[in-house]
A and B are shown apart, each in its own frame.
Chain A
């Protein structure tokens, strides 16, 4: 398969990234080369082979559901980029222009 510039723009949206035209050209070329490399795997016969998604040597771990002291509210707010009266501030969700 060959990824087009439109495919790359779509993947960028899924990734919550935006690119200008020049970057889009560069990524289309580079992603194409990486996917070409990835396509080598299509040649491997994996019929009946289960997938490995983790190599943990434990089963599901259970614990008591007990509350634990963690950070204070003010500690939690220390790295917030924009806040007001102890709340995290974010811009309007709907475009400002849409409310006109």
Chain B
């Protein structure tokens, strides 16, 4: 089974025809994971997992299809660590809503993918379980924080993976790995059972090789949930209905800030090719401006870190997770368990958040960032009055080298400049492959839509996928 040439529909047909069994599909995933051990894309794999009995291939396209789960989404009985020492022995006693829905659709859930600790990072170098390598070039990072999910798709371990995106954590690794990734609208998918990082920004989404596959998985996981009051009650459309639609007349905005000199020339060139293809097919291209782009990185890091410092208070070494030894009193348990249990980047974000929320600095930092967030949202509202989608590069550079930026937090944070606005404004956004850089590394094309308008995002991504057929290429790093 070569997952790089398969998709959910093709697997479903083979399963229904009986030419392959769900057990064989699962075994194929386990074999692939074994063959790609050097990528370190997985944290926990349950070799004794079994596909559902009584699979109904007509009722569910996901029936018997192995799906990877990022390790910050809780899975009952399957260790869930958020790639942190503080949770390295944590076995959840319940399933996240998205997991329940995948189980109902009879998908096979058997393993958890590597990530930056608590989803904090843009390179997957912040994992307690070691860094992940990029299948296109093993000396380069896979991006983060959903780096394991992205590398697992790009190397053909599975055809679909769940990720989470707080500031680009699905789209940036999707771009770096030459695959598709979508962060739906904030409120489209339940966050119940997603280990919280920045609660006003976090959203679960899907990484796949093919656009249609992501639409099919999103169809299953989206929609209202009694356990998460932030999920919208709007009806969930069939996302596959948007695929194959003509882009003639589609109004496409291109922010000039996203195509500036700050973006690598070969990245810009690859992105421009896709814009030209859209135009040639009859889409209307409008150059627009997002004047607050230069402020999105500080705005995001203040807000996300403030929310994180609050969310991560719960890790106290008392009820679950790691507890330090040799403690003399309760305060000592907190201090030592947290100091030994959290990695450096997580501590940095907790510290930044505590500072931004502390007496004397709250208004100047947290509240000022929250006011600038309003201005950023208004920028987008204005553009969507006259446009259906906003497009540009997903990242300013292709995947950088392992070790290149990890010692410089500010440089690392600036990687996220093109992706974090969608989180601040709650917009759906996706990355679809645009081509290769001069160095043979994938370049991502980002598509953002109006809130709850994933349909136009899927439509545009599907057009790009059909026009450049990037999915036919295989990662260079996989060849011996």
Contacts and interface: CB of A to CB of B under 8 A. Distances in A.
Contacts of A80: 318-320
Contacts of B322: 81
Contact of B426 (A37, A38, A55, A75): A55
A21 B330 CA distance: 23
A31 B328 contact: no
B298 A17 contact: no
Contacts of B451: 55, 57
Given A41-B298, A52-B377, A18 B336 contact: yes
B329 A93 contact: yes
A96 B295 CA distance: 50
Contacts of B369: 38, 41
Given A41-B299, A41-B369, A55-B377, A17 B347 contact: yes
Given A14-B354, A58-B230, A61-B229, A90 B318 contact: yes
Nearest to A57: B232
Contacts of A85: none
Interface string A18-47: 110000000100110111011111101010
A37 B351 contact: no
Q: How large is the interface on B (under 10, 10 to 19, 20 to 34, 35 or more residues)?
A: 35 or more
A100 B146 CA distance: 51
Contacts of A84: none
Contacts of B330: 90-93
A12 B351 contact: yes
B229 A58 contact: yes
Contacts of B468: none
Interface string B197-208: 000100000000
B323 interface: yes
Contacts of A53: 200, 370
A18 B338 CA distance: 8
A37 B294 CA distance: 11
Interface string A71-99: 10001101111100000101111111100
Nearest to A60: B229
A71 B91 CA distance: 14
Contact of A63 (B91, B226, B317): B226
Given A49-B371, A58-B230, A38 B301 contact: yes
Contact of B319 (A3, A75, A79): A79
B420 to A, nearest CB: 13
Nearest to A39: B298
Contacts of A33: 409-410
Nearest to B358: A14
B368 interface: yes
B309 A15 contact: yes
B105 interface: no
A76 B93 contact: yes
A55 B334 contact: no
Contacts of B200: 53-55
Contacts of B327: 91
Contact of B339 (A19, A57, A76): A19
A71 B320 CA distance: 15
A52 B354 CA distance: 19
Contact of B375 (A11, A12, A49, A71): A49
Given A50-B374, A52-B374, A52-B377, A96 B350 contact: no
Closest 9 interchain pairs by CB? A55-B426, A79-B320, A51-B370, A46-B371, A81-B323, A61-B229, A75-B93, A52-B373, A52-B374
Given A46-B375, A52-B377, 11 more contacts: A11-B355, A12-B351, A16-B335, A31-B351, A44-B368, A46-B374, A55-B187, A56-B230, A80-B318, A80-B320, A81-B320
5 contacts: A46-B372, A52-B370, A58-B230, A71-B93, A92-B330
